[in-house]
């Protein structure tokens, strides 16, 4: 160990103790005298978690550009050793020194106790980092106060932003409870019109200052989710200007309600206010800064209620009736928080996974869920951490949508060079500076726009590799999960067929009744290849047929009790329902007109007595795994392969080899 580190960190911490930083407070006249410029000096002392003095946590962003303007201080004396610190942290420590003179828990020797992650944890010791990160929620929850440091304010504009928003909120609260007035006020922000208010036009400098305030690095940090949420008391400082947590909560709430963040995006990207090209796009700063801040800042802060409130707000599990439902909420929340963390900034890329993992471990403890098998381990590379966490979510929930949340995909060459699956995020890639080209869900983007997100092309692409999940092999496509939903919702059967025939893929239903979950068929495992128009058309017909068979079964089983509701919410998505027939289940003639099935399959389809349907698809060279899908065996997917001489059961693998007289069966075990 480096001798300097050994002096500062003589022993490794456990999960029952922590180091506190004793910040030396110089005489006030020396501190305020710019010509003296006393160094920041502190001492580290180890305490038990159960027997430590009152302390504050300092929550900050390492990389705040405004902290690098003017005189940059990047060292501090730690246990007498000059130690490198981030300039923004040095600003935060000096700010706290300036405010600590009047603090009631300042001790008699003229010092105060603080906990700062970058200093109190030996960052060079992966084992210590692993241990301390796992108890960080306890450290923040036990602190008497959390100082949230947004950074210096060299241009003295944050005070103006604070007062400006106080004026906006004052107008808004005067209209609260009067629906028409309140809605009209909010709509003015959404439609870029401030007429009828006493607010300056969007071209005014104060609006750009507002954008710069929310663009501060702190609001893009991953750990902010935990650090603010668990604090008994929090003060938010930006230079000499401070906010209460409630005040920041109200600002976040207003941004969310008024969609002001969307309106101001044009200012952020230097375009005209009337340019609507950014409408509906996801931006990294949006999820974390407005609705998420609203969720974690609001609510009761008493010691007894904070853990449950924190869990309820992040997971929504208070609406669940069973442990199983609550655990499902938790898994989905893990994926959402994972996405938020990938849109945020971290010094260590592993923290993008560890932040939501720590949160989920707390939530599991609050609700009595089984212990999460994942562990925080800084000795593992980031790609392995991500692969382990993602695989666990899929194994536990069966939800493939998590593979569609992350956008920093590996190139095919990188996959081959590293032996890493394409769906594992490339942590070495630089984050894009422009907004992701994702449209709002209501616009039904279909496959073209969905694949353009990750492939930068208008056609489906596959970047190889296989994800091992339990006994299943899940082939990966660049954008898997949501793209299927969008394609089927758009009745884009040809592109669906193209994707399924070209790429390794699986679609699973998990008991859902939505149409896009009915396509629970088989898993193709092969290298990517293009398919011809005839094969794609045949397979598209088969998907239509499979959809109709499912509708028919549900109707006969009496599960479609409300036909009106069913067609309004399901078939309307497929654009197959006619307005004048939305109150009845369409008969065969209706479907025969809409769905152009080949004549040789027409009679088979019309008699509605058989599940047999053999599309004319060139299956040579393909390997198919039959999954539990639309009914008890034998099922449509099995009968699809009626040419196989042996009886086919669930889980069997059928291999069709070029040059072979007949396909043959591979049965596990």
Closest to 351 (Cα-Cα) out of 528, 126, 526, 668: 126
pLDDT for 557 equals 58
DSSP letters, 320-377, are: --SHHHHHHHHHHHHHHHHHHHHTSB-SSTTHHHHHHHHHHHHHHHHHTPPPPS----
Burial of 227 by CB count in 10 Å (0-12 exposed, 13-18 middle, 19+ buried)?
buried
User: Is residue 60 within 8 Å of 90, Cβ to Cβ?
Assistant: no
CA dihedral 281, 509, 620, 613 (to 10 degrees): -120
DSSP letters, 444-479, are: --HHHHHHHHHHSSSS------EEEETTEEEE--SS
**5-15, pLDDT tens digit by residue?**
556 788 899 98
Sheet strand arrangement including 41-48: 81-84, 75-78, 41-48, 17-24, 111-115, 56-60, 145-149, 234-238, 241-244
What count of other Cβ atoms lies within 10 Å of the Cβ of residue 50?
A: 8
What percent of the chain clears pLDDT 90, i.e. is strictly above it? 3
What is the C-alpha separation between 137 and 141, in angstroms, rounded?
Answer: 6
Highest mean pLDDT among 38-52, 109-123, 613-627, 634-648: 38-52
What is the C-alpha separation between 465 and 477, in angstroms, rounded?
Answer: 9
Q: Is the pLDDT of residue 525 over 60?
A: no
User: Is residue 485 within 8 Å of 508, Cβ to Cβ?
Assistant: no
Mean pLDDT of the chain: 58
Residue 46: pLDDT band by 50, 70, 90 thresholds? Answer: very high
What percent of the chain clears pLDDT 70, i.e. is strictly above it? 36
Q: Is the pLDDT of residue 207 over 60?
A: yes
- SS3 label, residue 112: strand
Q: Is the pLDDT of residue 453 over 60?
A: no
Average pLDDT, integer, range 237-261? 76
Matching residue, tokens 């944050």: 158
User: How far out from the chain centre does Cα 461 lie?
Assistant: 23
pLDDT for 86 equals 84
Residues 6+ apart with CB under 8 A from 410: 418, 420, 422, 424, 425, 426, 463
Q: Is the pLDDT of residue 124 over 70?
A: yes
pLDDT for 374 equals 80
Closest to 489 (Cα-Cα) out of 437, 458, 450: 450
Q: Is the pLDDT of residue 17 over 90?
A: yes
Highest mean pLDDT among 104-118, 286-300, 625-639: 104-118
Closest to 58 (Cα-Cα) out of 114, 98, 137: 114
Closest to 613 (Cα-Cα) out of 628, 624, 625, 601: 601
Residue, of 313 and 516, whose pLDDT is higher: 313
- SS3 label, residue 612: coil
Closest to 56 (Cα-Cα) out of 86, 27, 99: 99
Q: What backbone torsions phi and psi does residue 475 show, to the nearest 5 degrees? A: -70, 150
**146-161, pLDDT tens digit by residue?**
888 888 888 889 889 8
Picking from 66-70, 163-167, 489-493, which range would have the lowest pLDDT averaged per residue? Answer: 489-493
Closest to 202 (Cα-Cα) out of 211, 119, 146: 211
pLDDT for 48 equals 93
Residue, of 548 and 125, whose pLDDT is higher: 125
Give the global pTM. 0.57
User: Is residue 105 within 8 Å of 112, Cβ to Cβ?
Assistant: yes
Both tokens of residue 103? 């603090």
Average pLDDT, integer, range 623-643? 31
Q: Is the pLDDT of residue 382 over 50?
A: yes
pLDDT for 378 equals 84
Average pLDDT, integer, range 567-573? 37
Q: Is the pLDDT of residue 98 over 60?
A: yes
Residue, of 188 and 169, whose pLDDT is higher: 169
Highest mean pLDDT among 88-97, 350-359, 423-432: 88-97
Angle (CA) 61-93-24 rounded to 5° is 150
- List the alpha helices (DSSP H) in 525-577: 533-556, 563-566, 572-574
Angle (CA) 478-480-483 rounded to 5° is 105
- Measured between its terminal Cα atoms, the distance across the chain in Å is 52
What is the C-alpha separation between 592 and 578, in angstroms, rounded?
Answer: 14
What is the C-alpha separation between 76 and 91, in angstroms, rounded?
Answer: 11
Residue, of 80 and 405, whose pLDDT is higher: 80
Closest to 292 (Cα-Cα) out of 274, 313, 306: 313
Residue, of 556 and 347, whose pLDDT is higher: 347
Residue 20: pLDDT band by 50, 70, 90 thresholds? Answer: very high
User: Is residue 64 within 8 Å of 218, Cβ to Cβ?
Assistant: yes
| Strand bridging mode 653-655 / 664-666 | antiparallel
Positive or negative, the Cα torsion across 656, 660, 664, 669? negative
Q: Is the pLDDT of residue 167 over 60?
A: yes
């Amino acid at each position: 160990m480096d001798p300097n580190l050994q002096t500062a960190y003589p022993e490794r911490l456990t999960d029952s103790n922590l180091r506190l930083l004793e910040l030396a407070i110089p005489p006030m006249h020396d501190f305020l005298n710019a010509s003296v410029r006393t160094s920041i000096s502190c001492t580290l002392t180890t305490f038990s978690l159960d027997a430590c003095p009152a302390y504050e946590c300092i929550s900050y962003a390492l990389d705040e550009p405004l902290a690098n303007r003017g005189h940059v201080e990047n060292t501090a004396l730690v246990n007498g050793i000059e130690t490198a610190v981030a300039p923004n942290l040095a600003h935060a420590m000096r700010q706290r020194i300036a405010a600590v003179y009047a603090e009631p828990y300042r001790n008699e020797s003229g010092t105060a106790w603080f906990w700062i992650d970058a200093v109190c944890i030996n960052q060079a010791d992966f084992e210590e980092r692993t241990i301390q990160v796992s108890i960080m929620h306890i450290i923040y929850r036990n602190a008497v106060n959390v100082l949230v440091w947004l950074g210096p304010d060299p241009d003295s504009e944050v005070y103006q932003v604070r007062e400006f928003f106080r004026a906006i909120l004052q107008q808004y609260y005067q209209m609260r409870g009067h629906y028409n007035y309140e809605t009209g006020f909010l709509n003015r922000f959404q439609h870029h019109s401030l007429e009828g208010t006493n607010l300056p036009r969007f071209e005014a400098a104060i609006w750009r200052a507002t954008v710069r305030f929310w663009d501060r690095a702190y609001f893009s940090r991953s750990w902010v989710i935990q650090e603010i949420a668990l604090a008994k008391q929090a003060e938010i400082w930006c230079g000499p200007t401070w906010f209460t947590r409630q005040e920041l909560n109200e600002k976040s709430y207003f941004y969310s309600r008024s969609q002001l963040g969307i309106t101001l995006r044009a200012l952020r990207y230097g375009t005209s206010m009337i340019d609507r090209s950014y409408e509906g796009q996801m931006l990294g700063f949006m999820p974390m800064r407005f609705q998420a801040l609203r969720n974690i800042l609001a609510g009761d802060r008493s010691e007894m209620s904070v853990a449950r409130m924190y869990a309820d707000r992040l997971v929504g599990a208070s609406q669940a009736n069973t442990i199983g439902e609550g655990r499902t909420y938790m898994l989905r929340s893990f994926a959402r928080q994972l996405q938020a963390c990938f849109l945020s900034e971290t010094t260590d890329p592993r923290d993008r996974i560890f932040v939501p993992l720590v949160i989920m471990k707390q939530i599991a403890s609050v609700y009595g869920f089984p212990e999460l098998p994942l562990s925080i381990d800084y000795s593992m590379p980031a790609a392995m951490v991500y692969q382990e966490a993602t695989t666990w979510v899929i194994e536990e929930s069966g939800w493939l949508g998590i593979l569609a949340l992350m956008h920093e995909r590996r190139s095919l060459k990188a996959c081959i060079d590293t032996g890493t699956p394409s769906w594992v995020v490339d942590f070495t890639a630089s984050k894009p500076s422009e907004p992701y080209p994702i449209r709002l869900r209501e616009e039904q983007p279909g496959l073209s726009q969905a694949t353009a997100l990750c492939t930068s092309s208008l056609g489906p692409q596959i970047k190889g590799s296989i994800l091992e999940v339990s006994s299943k092999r899940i082939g990966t496509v660049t954008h898997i999960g949501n793209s299927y939903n969008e394609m089927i919702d758009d009745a884009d059967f040809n592109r669906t067929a193209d994707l399924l025939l070209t790429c390794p893929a699986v679609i699973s239903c998990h008991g859902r009744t939505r149409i896009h979950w009915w396509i629970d068929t088989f898993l193709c495992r092969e290298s990517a290849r293009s398919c011809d128009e005839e094969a794609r058309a045949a397979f598209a017909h088969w998907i239509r047929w499979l959809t109709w068979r499912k509708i028919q079964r549900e109707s006969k089983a009496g599960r479609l009790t409300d036909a009106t509701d069913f067609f309004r919410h399901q078939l309307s998505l497929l654009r197959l329902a006619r307005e004048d027939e939305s109150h009845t289940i369409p008969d065969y003639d209706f479907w025969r007109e809409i769905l152009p099935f080949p004549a040789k399959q027409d009679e088979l389809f019309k008699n509605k007595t058989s599940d047999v349907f053999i599309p004319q698809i060139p299956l040579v060279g393909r390997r198919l795994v039959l999954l539990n899908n639309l009914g008890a065996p034998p099922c449509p997917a099995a009968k699809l392969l009626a040419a196989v001489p042996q009886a086919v059961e669930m889980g069997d693998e059928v291999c069709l080899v070029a040059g072979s007289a007949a396909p043959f069966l591979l049965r596990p075990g």
